[in-house]
Structure formats: structure tokens, C-alpha cells
Amino acid sequence: MWTLLFPGQGSQSVGMGKFLFDEFKIAKEVFEEASDAINLNLKKLCFEGPDADLALTENTQPALLCVSTATQKVLRSEFSLKIQNTAGHSIGEYASLVSADVIPFSSAMKAVRRRGQAMQSAVPVGKGGMLATLGLDDIQARWICEEATKNSGKGPLSPANFNCPGQIVISGSSEAIQWLKDNFKPENIPGSPRRAKLIPLNVSAPFHCAMMKPAEDNMRSFLSEISFSNASFPVVQNFNAQSVSNASELKENLIKQISAPVLWTQTMQNLKESNSIRLLECGNGSVLKGLFKKFDENMKVINFNQLEDIKNFETLLKTEGLS
């Protein structure tokens, strides 16, 4: 039994998915369906870019869903894999829902296009931002957010992505973030973390925080018109890091995810406790593989970024008698 993992925004790069399109008919069909669904040439966007166009949130999110779906469909059609469960990081959760037959692919494409536009327009440019914190635990990350909002008089600022132990992204008001950058002193944080530091992220909006509430409301209206089905295998959702199969619960958690933090560390813990040990990262890059390595190096993640990766996976299946 295998677990399907789907990466989120930041994993995109020009050229992604081209080897799938060139080698597998089912991947071509995915790109064609995706392009038709939102009237956007996904082949040109993914294969040629330019980077600036691919990095636009309203383009990034459908591009990632397209490539992630093409990857899982190729793997499952080529190898008839038995799937135990699935999880996706932020926008990757839509790919999880597609893989589990919760939402039709074309509907998901329209939803993520709308999601990207809604998230981009929710906050005026320059009013929000995100910082990666390294070396802090959950309590310490929340503490610095509270200190920044209290002392700057501006907010919100809160944890947005619990990516892995010691790596937590915070999101919110640009003014609170600036105060924190100007006044950050690890020795003043409870517990005095020695190697704590902040890394500004080059993002277009403050994702997964209270400033995204307008986008959440927008998507609630949009998704109310889309029919969800019960999952064919459990989806570990970002909102609560719980395995969910019920259609209405899946939809509600997906909507709330927009302004709530991504509980990825907790998701990895859920997968570990459910004995999910065969993990496939279905999408571009190796971001999730890196996070799992930091979380538990015994949880091995297989990536698919070139044709050779597909061939190596085929050899593994034959050698170990897996399916």
C-alpha cells in the first residue's frame, strides 16, 4: 500500500512535467483537460514559463495541480498501485482530493484558478508577507508573533505552515513582520533558542492567516456549487491533520484551510502512526521529501522528476514484489 503526497506552492519550476507529457499518453490528456477547463495553455506555462508568469499565484496553483495529477495518473496507470491514503501541502490538497475521487479534475482546476485569484486579491500588495523561522518550536513561534503584534500595534501575525520540527512559517501584517525583523533577538525568546533565525519569503501575499478570510469567503461561495464525493481512500487534511473520508467534512476543511495554518508536521506524524511507510511525492521537485527527512529519516519518500525516476520505480516494484 502506498501514500500519495502532493507538494504546494514554491515547488514549481519551468520545465516541470515535460517528461511525463512527452512519454505518457495519459499525461497529455491531463494537460489537455486542464488547459480546456480554465482556458489557459498549461503546456506552454509549465514547459516554457517564463518564471515570472509561472510564479503568479493564479497560474502557479493550477500548474501544480496539473503536474501533480499527471504524475499520480501515470504512476497508477503504469503500475496499478494500491493506495492507502493521501496528503497534500496547501494547494497540494486539491491534488489529493482528485486522486481520491472526491472532486472531478476539471472542477478542481477551476477551483484552484479561482483560489489563486482570490488569495492574490484578498490583501493589497505590500500589506502582508511571510517569514520562515528556523530553530523555533511551536510555542516559541507563537510567542514571537504575539510580541510583534503587541509591540508594533499591528496585526495579525501568526504561524502559517508547521512544515517540520524547527521550520515554521509565519504570516501576516507587513508592519508586524518589519517590527519583528528589526527587533529579533533569540536570547529574548523563552527557552533562548541558540540558532534561531528568520528568513523573509518572496511571496505575493500573506497566505494561511486571518488576512486570507476574504479569500476563504470567496471560495466558500464557489465550492458550494461543486459536488464532493466521499473519498475512495482517506485524505489527511491540512486543517486538522486528521484522516477524513466524508464528503461534507472534506469540503469544509478545504475551505477553512485558506486562512488556517497548514499542519504538515502533524500530518507527517499522522502518517507515521498509521504505518504509512511507502511514500510517493507526486509532483515537481523534492520539497516534501526534504521535510520528511528532517521529521524522520526512516520515512523514505520517492520522487518523480525525470523519466529515469519512473524506470527506477518500476525496477523497485519488480525487485521487491510490491504493488
CA gap 213, 215 in Å, rounded: 5
CA gap 285, 281 in Å, rounded: 9
One digit per residue, the tens of pLDDT, for the chain of length 323 reads: 999 999 999 999 999 999 999 999 999 999 999 999 999 999 999 999 999 999 999 999 999 999 999 999 999 999 999 999 999 999 999 999 999 999 999 999 999 999 999 999 999 988 999 999 999 999 999 999 999 999 999 999 999 999 999 999 999 999 999 999 999 999 999 999 989 999 999 888 999 999 999 999 999 999 999 999 999 999 999 999 999 999 999 999 999 999 999 999 999 999 999 999 899 999 999 999 999 999 999 999 999 999 999 999 999 999 987 76
Are 82 and 323 in contact by the 8 Å Cβ rule? The answer is: yes
- Those residues whose C-beta lies under 8 Å from the C-beta of residue 81, and which sit 6 or more positions away, are 2, 75, 280, 323
Are 62 and 38 in contact by the 8 Å Cβ rule? The answer is: yes
Q: How many CB atoms lie within 10 A of CB 228?
A: 19
Q: For residue 148, what are the β-bridge partners?
A: none
Q: Which residues are known to be catalytic?
A: 90, 208
- Residue 199: which of 181, 217, 173 has the closest Cα? 181
Domains and CATH numbers, the chain: 2-122+211-320 (3.40.366.10), 128-203 (3.30.70.250)
Helix (H, G, I), strand (E, B) or coil at 150: helix
